[in-house]
Amino acid sequence: MKILVTGGCGFIGANFILYWHKNYPGDIIINVDALTYAGNRENLKDVEDSPEYVFVHADICNNEKMLEVTKGVDVIVHFAAESHNDRAISDPALFVRTNVLGTHTLLDVARQNNIKRFHHISTDEVYGALSLNDPQKFTEERAYNPRSPYSASKAASDHLVRAYFHTYGLPVTITNCSNNLGPFQFPEKIIPLFITNLLEGKKVPVYGDGLYVRDWIYVEDHCRAIDLVIKKGILGETYLIGANNEVPNIILAKKIISLLQKDDSFIEYVTDRPGHDRRYAIESAKIQRLGWNPLFSFDDALKETVRWYVEHQAWWKRLKHKKPC
């Protein structure tokens, strides 16, 4: 099989390529990445010399190039996206271009080249926010209610994917996942930012009152879920992926501080960002019925992630103060 991965030099995309190469060594993997600030070819140095791996430096908005590279491809797994909320607030147009127009380009070329499966990676943020005392969790039936430029752009891309299924019969599936943690995550994101700040002797910035809750999943568990949906998912359907690990940011900070043998004096409360969603939580019953369950507990996943950043300081130090292209 020939599988094309967009955004494969990013955090989740790189982990997915490493996962797929390990578990399906006969498959050809084409990695299309524009190598913006968060894309790093070093993430895939373990496979770069493999004859089953091909890297293509390209922008997913380039219709002509995407039409060329998707010829003969069986499956497209679409990770490529701008994803950092703080950046979306300062430059929403970039998020609309990549997340909406880029997805539209890929859907068009997938239709033209008769791709057998288009799998779209999305986020739980499209569903809006839950209150801290709300017993509900996000389900596939929940109405979309994006509250930031980032989540709105991802919601728009989800709607386009479904439209191509209903209008053109393009064989699609969608997964909306909770927050990921693990190796190769760009150090602007909360967990690697906290880890690397502490390793540099700096404080960790906690927004507002620190009671913003996210549902965390180890990136390898996410990759396994995508694999299962590609194999067994019903065409046109959406599957929510979460590991039932709701953690307030202040508790997350304290856990990382403890793992790195620091104390609470390293916590610094900072001004909240605009439109900050209070809580996300996912009900994963639908994908569990396909046969998936997370293998990693949150504490084990966090320990493994901290260990990785401790052991790969040269990797993140080169990236931490890298400016956007």
Q: Which amino acids are annotated catalytic?
A: 124-125, 150
Contact 214, 276 (CB under 8 A): no
DSSP 92-133: HHHHIIIIIIHHHHHHHHHHHTT-SEEEEEEEGGGG--B-TT
Give the containing element (helix H, strand E) for 258.
Answer: helix 249-259
Tell the burial category of 242 from Cβ atoms under 10 Å away from its Cβ (0-12, 13-18, 19+): buried
The span from the CA of 12 to the CA of 35, in Å, is 14
Tell the burial category of 179 from Cβ atoms under 10 Å away from its Cβ (0-12, 13-18, 19+): buried
- The residue type at 44: L
User: Which residue is listed with tokens 């927050």?
Assistant: 179
Question: Residues in the chain, how many?
Answer: 325
The span from the CA of 107 to the CA of 258, in Å, is 45
User: Which residue is listed with tokens 């969608």?
Assistant: 174
User: Could you count the other beta carbons within 10 Å of the beta carbon of residue 167?
Assistant: 9
The span from the CA of 96 to the CA of 80, in Å, is 13
